[in-house]
Structures are given as C-alpha cells and as structure tokens.
Amino acid sequence: MRSAKDFFRPLAVGAPAPVREVPFRPSRMIHFFDPGNEKMAAKVPSLAPQVDVLLGNLEDAVPADRKEAARAGLVKTARDVDFGDTQLWTRINSLDSPWALDDLLTLVPEIGGKLDVVMVPKVEGAQDIHYVDRLLAQLEAKAGLTRPILVHAILETAAGVAAVEEIAGASPRMQGISLGPADLAASRRMKTTRVGGGHPDYLVRADPPASGGGAAGDGPRPTFQQDLWHYTIARMVDACAAHGILPYYGPFGDIQDTTACEDQFRNAFLLGCVGAWSLHPVQIGIAKRVFSPSPQDVAWARRVIAAMGDGTGAVMIDGKMQDDATYKQCLVVADLADALAARDPELAAAYAAATAGEEAR
C-alpha cells in the first residue's frame, strides 16, 4: 500500500497531478453505445446534448471480431463530435482479455485529452486499479496530457464485492463504482438469467393465519417480493461515500419494461446512487427523471435550510422536527439540485417555480 504521504504523487514522471477531490459533474445516465456500430455511432451527435455521459463501450456486447472496429470507431467519434459539456467515457475490455492493453495504448495517445473516465470491468481488488493507475500515468506523461483521466470500477465479481472498500480507496483517480448485476450474478452463481431488477421467486411469505384454536389455518398467505440487489448496492454506496467517490446502479436489461426500470433506478437513487446506465435511448428519460430530485423535494429542502439558519438547533416545520441532521440531508438534495440546474435550464425553472410556491405558503 502507498504511504499516505505519497498518495497524491503522480505515478510517472511528467504525468498530471492527481485530483484531490472527485469533481461532481452531473452523471444521471451513463449512455452506452457501441462505437463500431454505424447506426448507433451516427446517433451520438444528437444524443450528446440529451445525456450527461456518453460511454463508448468496448467490452461485453461488442462481438469479439468487432473489438478493433469498436476501438477505431471510438477514436473517430471522439475526434469528430462536439460533446459540449457532456462527458465522454469508455468501458475498456477486462484486464484478463487480449484487448485491454491495446485499448489503453490506443485511446490515451489518440483521444486522451477528450476522455474523462475509463470504466474498468470485472475489478477484483485494489491490484487491478493499481495496474491501470500506473499505466495511465505512463501514457498520460508520454502523450503530454495535463489533466488526469479518472477511473471507474464495475462491481461485478464476488471478489470485487468482498474488496469494495479497498477498491474505492485504491487511487485518487477513482471516480466511482457501478453495480454490474449480470456478471455479478454469474460470479456468485446466483440462479437468475436477468440483467438487474427483481425476481418473482425471491420473496417472503406471511405466516399462516391462526385458526380458531391458535394453530395454523388454511387461509391465503400473501407473499412480498424482495430486492435481490439491496445488500450490494448499500455496501457499494457506503464504500463510495467513505472514500468521496460516486456510486451508480448499472444496467437494466428489460428494455421494454420501463416501469420496472424506473423502480430499479429509483431504489438506487434513494439509497444514494447518483446515476445509472442507459442501454437504449428509451432509458435516458427515465434516468433523467429519477436521478433529478423532484421540484417538491427541492423546495422543501430549501425551506428547511432557510429555517435552520446556521444549521444547528431544532425547529418545527409543518409538524415535523428539523435539526442538524435533517439540515444535512436537505443540503444533499439542494446541492444536487443546484448542480443539475446549472446544466439543465428546464429543471432550473421547475425548481425555481416550486421554491417560489413553497415560499408563498
């Protein structure tokens, strides 16, 4: 392990200084596209203003015989498209694949100045982040980059979950972590065949109704579906928060089931995630809606903050006690709203209108 004194030292002579804090840039949806798929790549210029992050995917979902085409497509897209304020990320191939090294050796010199974040799949421990960290530093130095490329890990192996805290704190480059429910299910030998979301068989059942003498009777016993991902998302959120990096829900594979997608995204939002992946254009609007706090919540948060003055003590608002802790919760909501409003004029107007309504009450 690096000494605390060395943690922020560049890992190669001439590499840019590591960031001391992960910059918070809206990333409600990380929109995946296959840069080697001409139809998808053609949509990137019109998608750029609609999404917070565009991710050129080189790993799973890109056929093995199209890996080079995807890499070349990403270089072309990065050069040709004006992304404005939208971030450009890539997901490289996994570190045990024949393509990962060439992904980095090509992308950093060719388009390193445009790449904000490299997503690393199937991370098993801090050693994987250390490998990418040093390699990026060498390549950045060689390419003369002045801004460090950040790293995002996918939590999708049992070993990775067991080591999630050390992964989150492995490098100042760590920007965030996404849950990868599909590979994680396989790695854990879960008996599911879906990409994220719930499963109707993962349930608890109510006790049998008592019969006259107190023994179990024969009446109906309602069942309640449980959340397969609660434990992992909560653990990931804690690891990320403890290390000042950002947690995300990953993919939801049932593209047509927009309702269940929205539910999955909202659970992740409420638990602390800042965004999710969109795999298809139909999921972009869902993520935008879910990962932006509602105007009502923002108006309420601003009201509590105003009433709490310096943020200490206790006040009553509409019958509810507010104190230092609720003030901090409200700051989370209001600060997120401010960051999103700065990027999204429609949202800014909705927040302003709701706040004015709350103040007029």
Question: What residue numbers does the annotated binding site cover?
Answer: 91, 156, 183
Q: Which residue is nearest to Mg ion (CB)?
A: 183
269 binds, among ligand 1VU, Mg ion, ligand LL5AMS7Z, none (CB under 5 to 8 A by kind): none
Q: For residue 23, give every residue at least 6 positions away whose Cβ sits within 8 Å of its Cβ, in sequence order, or none.
A: none
Chosen residue from 10, 125, 272, 281 binding ligand 1VU by CB under 6 A:
281
The distance of closest approach from Cβ of residue 57 to ligand 1VU in the complex, given in angstroms and rounded to an integer, is: 5
Could you tell me which residues are annotated as the binding site for substrate? 91, 156
Distance CA 281, CA 108 (A): 28
Distance CA 182, CA 63 (A): 17
174-193: which residues touch ligand 1VU (CB under 6 A)? Answer: 182
**Type of residue found at 274:** V
Number of H helices, E strands in the chain: 13, 12
Distance CA 85, CA 351 (A): 21
205 binds, among ligand 1VU, Mg ion, ligand LL5AMS7Z, none (CB under 5 to 8 A by kind): none
Query: Going residue by residue from 167 to 206, which x/- string records binding to ligand LL5AMS7Z, judged by CB under 6 A?
Result: -------------xxxx-----------x-----------
223-262: which residues touch ligand 1VU (CB under 6 A)? Answer: 251, 253, 255
Could you tell me which residues are annotated as the binding site for Mg(2+)? 156, 183
- Spatial CA neighbour of 157 closest among 130, 132, 187: 187
Q: For residue 236, give every residue at least 6 positions away whose Cβ sits within 8 Å of its Cβ, in sequence order, or none.
A: 155, 164, 177, 179, 247
139-168: which residues touch Mg ion (CB under 5 A)? Answer: 156
Tell me if 154 sits within 8 A of 122, measured CB to CB. yes
Degrees, nearest 5: CA angle 141-145-151: 85
Distance CA 172, CA 179 (A): 20
The distance of closest approach from Cβ of residue 233 to ligand LL5AMS7Z in the complex, given in angstroms and rounded to an integer, is: 13
Asked if 195 is part of the footprint of ligand 1VU (rule: CB under 6 A), the reply reads: yes
| Residues making contact with ligand 1VU (CB under 6 A) | 32-34, 39-40, 43, 57, 60-61, 182, 195, 251, 253, 255, 279-281
| Residues making contact with ligand LL5AMS7Z (CB under 6 A) | 60, 154, 156, 180-183, 195, 250-251
